[in-house]
Amino acid sequence: MNNKFLAAACAAATLGLGAARADFPVNPDEAILQGLNRDNVQAFLHSDVARYRELLADDFTAILADGRLIDKADFLRLQRPGLPAPVLDFHLDQVVVRQYGDTALIQGRITYRRSDGVFTQRRTLDVYVRRAGRWQAVSRQLTPTAGP
């Protein structure tokens, strides 16, 4: 058994994923990236500017659902408590993590109802880059959708 397969099997057992197969190795970065995605959602739900400062690279940019391109400073200003309106019935699904070396894409779909009753559904795409051993988001795109 080679060392890569053994490491993948150990990672799978640690994460509770069962035995790893040689044709489908476990990616240890995926658990880290999934955790960062969960942190991102929690930062959104709680307007946690401090956590966003850690999650987002200094050169972060976002394309908002209305088409505006903003930088990290502008993004953090939008995260003040009460902005955007608090959300109800939040759901995240269809999450897919794809890694390409030190770059990863995380796609998903979010749905929620704002406190003013407006239903919102968006596709999300976050781009993460590993720099000096640390993953940070460098880009986000939010695309409004009419249905699943």
pLDDT digits (tens, 9 = 90+) for 97-135: 999 999 999 999 999 988 888 899 999 999 999 999 999
Q: Are 107 and 116 contacting, i.e. CB atoms less than 8 angstroms apart?
A: no
Q: Where are the domains of the chain?
A: 28-144
Q: Return the CATH number of 28-144, one of 3.10.450.50, 3.40.50.720, 3.40.50.20, 1.20.1070.10.
A: 3.10.450.50
Residue 21's SS3 state is strand
pTM for the model: 0.77
Buried b (16+ CB within 10 A) or exposed e, 110-137: bbbeeeeeeebbbebebbbbbeeeebbb
Spell out, as residue ranges, where the chain has pLDDT lower than 70: 1-26, 81-85, 147-148
